[in-house]
Structure 1
Amino acid sequence: MSDQRRNLYFYYHPSQELDEKVKELFQLAQDNDFHLTENPEEANIILAIGGDGTFLQAVRKTGFRQDCLYVGIRSHNEAGLYCDFNIDDHEEMIYAMKNAEVEVRRFPIIEATVNGESTFKCLNECSVRSTLIKSIVVDVHIDDLHFETFRGDGLVIATPTGSTGYNKSTKGAVVDPKLPCFQVSELASLNNNRYRTLGSSFILSGERTLKLDVRQDGNDYPVIGMDNEAFSIRNIQDLTIKLSDDVIKTVKMKHNTYWDRVKRTFL
């Protein structure tokens, strides 16, 4: 690990059981000449302890930092697509750091702009869903092309790493994160003589722009999901979604590839 990356910030949800384990990590870090900070803006390594959900929150709460590394640490013995390390395996962490058994991987993120004003970043996915017992109608544009008019429960727009989450539950494809792209999947679309959509997920190049125009027919207050957080924004007229120029840099074990983690999680 570079001498320039010695300031650590730990992000986790305190509990009696976890607090004791985190204290051990604090001591381990200090014994190996790392410096602890309570201010994430001063850190150049941010460690998220918990699981994939905690990792997503850590990235969001710290502002999708471009000048630091993110490290995912599992607090329980469960598979994690963002978390390579286990909180109980101190020896593996130290060995990996000291013997250059880690590498930096870059994960794509998407940007969603609401009504041409507020822009939000997402590492996993952005979703737009109806909050009423009524279908939502959305005109889907790819660049300048009106592609389809969707009617149903909503749409999920996922990054490659997010393709294994909500997107996968909608029968979307699992995508290699080395591909600069994003995926659009449907939630309970209506397909009949009046309404017709593609009926399957589709993948867009990172050079494309997706625009979703929400029909103002009384369902004007959909829930906008940004990773694992929901935002209720009044009077949603349109969302413009594109692949960001920014990426999330994470520390990963060299021998633990993305497809190793997919296999371990699902197979």
Structure 2
Amino acid sequence: MRILLVCNRYKQSTQLVAEKLTEEIIGLGAGVEIDDGYNVSTTSGCDIIIVLGGDGTIIRAARTYGSFGIPMLGVNMGTVGFLTKIEIEELHQPNLKRLLAGDYHIDERMMLNVEVFEDNRSVLSVSGLNDVVVRAVVPRMLSVGLEVSGQDLGIYRGDGLLVATPTGSTAYSLSSGGPVCDPALGVFVVTPLASIHSSKRPLVINGEHKLIVSPIESDETVICIDGQVRHEFRPGCRVEISKSEHKLKLVDLNSIPFFAGLNERLGRIENS
């Protein structure tokens, strides 16, 4: 058994916890590798990934390792912890022994493939767990076009446009008026950002479709994937968004149903 520990290099507390956890895991007879944000592991020979931090650290780990199909346990050391399944205080024996023994439930989450083209040339291809956002760098109205598998949905005018997975439906999309989706669904949530058209409402679209977002009027506009990967969105660009063939496998030791824990997590946001 080999464990990959992923921690947040910007928080010394996660690195200290990683060092103590390494000793505990080795004491139980398993091997350990550490990804501190500087050196990314190949995951060769790793059976489980433990991510120490908040949702941002898990999103980075999902983008880096999600396609390998290795079970990933998110351990909350942040504020909200929508994606984490256990608190750091709980990750000791007997839970650590249960993890190494494979005594847990797997929660599969849809991921996105995002490809950016400039003049029909692919310039960026990346996976995402939460969302893709197209918006202006400075406060100004922009106009983008949206196609769904060749069907023209018209022009969206406002602050921008957001395409989220069910996992991302509880993030930026929710604060922009989008619906909360059951994470077991394989759908896109399309949420206009401050649209000037009352008819342009959030949409839930079958994940088997391909979405294309193109600029109409979009000076000083960026594409942002999961709030972490940015690329300039300029004339001649288009963004193609599709469902990834890979799903993120989240380890759940407590088997708490999504909707049973939803109000608690939303409450954390309001009180943070």
Tell me the TM-score normalised to structure 1 length: 0.86
How far off is 1:213 after superposition? 1.5
Matched residue type, 1:13: N
Superposition pairs of residues 101-120 of structure 1, within 5 angstroms: 101-115=103-117, 117=122, 118-120=124-126
- Aligned with residue 125 of structure 1, among 99, 109, 131: 131
Quote how far apart the aligned CAs of 1:230 are. Answer: 3.9
Deviations along 1:198-232, whole A, 9 cap, x unmatched? 332100001112111111x4x35421111121413
Secondary structure of the structure 1 residue equivalent to 2:195: coil
Residue by residue over 1:179-211, the C-alpha shift from the partner in whole angstroms, topping out at 9 and shown as x without a partner, is 1111000111112xxxxx633210000111211
Q: How much does 1:65 deviate?
A: 3.0
Moved over 4 A (4+): 98-101
CA distance in 2, matches of 1:266, 1:234: 32
- Other-structure match for 2:262: 262
How does 1:162-201 map onto structure 2 within 5 Å?
162-191=168-197, 198-201=199-202
For residue 21 of structure 2, the aligned residue among 6, 19, 25 is 25
Name the SS of the counterpart of 1:214 in structure 2. strand
Give the count of matched residue pairs.
253
* Deviation of the 1:147 alpha carbon: 1.1
Q: What displacement does 1:254 show? A: 4.8
1:123-147 CA distance string (max 9 Å, x none): 0111111124431111111222211
Q: Helix, strand or coil: the match of 2:109?
A: strand
The reply on whether 1:13 has 2:16 as its aligned counterpart is: no
Answer yes or no: is the 8 Å Cα contact 2:223–2:232 preserved in 1.
yes
C-alpha displacement of 1:45? 1.9
Q: CA RMSD of the aligned region, Å?
A: 2.2
1:232 aligns to what?
231
TM-score by length of 2: 0.84
* Aligned partner letter, 1:24: K
Relative to structure 1, the CA distance from residue 100 to residue 244 in structure 2 (aligned partners, 3 Å threshold; closer, same or farther) is closer
CA change 1:165–1:133 in 2 (3 A) is: closer
| CA contact 2:99–2:253 (8 Å) conserved in 1 | no
- The answer to whether 1:51 aligns with 2:83 is no
CA distance in 2, matches of 1:109, 1:86: 24
Q: Percent identity?
A: 23
How far did residue 83 of structure 1 move?
Answer: 0.8
Q: Which runs of 5+ in 1 are unaligned?
A: 1-5, 192-196
Alpha carbons of structure 1 residues 251 and 208: separation in structure 2 relative to 1, 3 Å: same
Structure 2: which amino acid aligns with 1:19? Answer: Q
Tell me how far apart the structure 2 counterparts of residues 52 and 136 of structure 1 sit (CA, whole Å). 29
- Structure 2: gaps of 5 or more residues: 35-39, 268-272
